[in-house]
């Protein structure tokens, strides 16, 4: 009798894929064997919470930019736009660090979000 290789993704690959959007994260939380792996569950929950945080911050910034456009001269509004680009860059760097850590079998615990993900992953 020969051992058949396990089909499917490794935990590292599943953890990294969970960060693509919240959709694979939800799928990994729903289907075995990924929903039984604490590593995959952590990354899936952290991805979901990161997406929620990015959405909330994005909405808040759009509101801020709208108010700023009403009260700031046009030259200063360019500064608001640059701040928005900087925020987007920081989100991308944070996302990239999480993906790279997952691919390498590690965890990058994002402040506030990470402990919530740990708590959900261990339920």
2: in domain = no
pLDDT value of residue 7: 58
Task: Name the 3-class secondary structure at 72.
Answer: coil
Q: Which domain holds residue 78?
A: 11-121
The 10s digit of each residue's pLDDT in 1-13 is: 444 345 588 999 9
Instruction: Using alpha carbons only, give the angle 97, 100, 104 rounded to the nearest 5 degrees.
Output: 135
Q: State residue 66's pLDDT score.
A: 85
6 inside domain: no
Give helix 38-71 / helix 113-121 axis angle, nearest 10°.
150
Question: Which pLDDT value is given to residue 65?
Answer: 86
Average pLDDT of the chain? 90
Residue 1 belongs to some domain of the structure:
no
Tell me if 73 is assigned to some domain.
yes
Given this model, what pLDDT does residue 5 score? 42
The pTM score is 0.86
Using CA atoms in the order 50, 56, 57, 61, what is the torsion angle rounded to 10 degrees? 160
Q: How many domains does the chain have?
A: 1
Question: Model confidence at 52, in pLDDT bands (50, 70, 90)?
Answer: very high
Average the pLDDT over 21-45 and give the result: 95
Q: Which pLDDT score, from 0 to 100, does residue 68 have?
A: 82
3 located within any domain: no
């Amino acid at each position: 009798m020969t051992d058949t290789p396990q089909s499917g993704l490794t935990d590292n690959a599943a953890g990294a894929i969970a960060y693509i959007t919240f959709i694979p994260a939800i799928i990994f939380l729903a289907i075995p064997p990924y929903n039984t792996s604490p590593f995959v569950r952590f990354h899936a929950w952290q991805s979901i919470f990161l997406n929620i945080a990015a959405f909330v911050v994005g909405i808040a910034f759009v509101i801020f930019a709208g108010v700023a456009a009403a009260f700031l001269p046009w030259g200063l509004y360019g500064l608001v736009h640059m701040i928005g680009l900087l925020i987007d860059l920081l989100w991308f760097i944070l996302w990239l660090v999480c993906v790279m850590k997952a691919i390498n079998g590690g965890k990058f615990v994002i402040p506030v979000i990470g402990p919530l993900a740990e708590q959900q992953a261990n339920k």
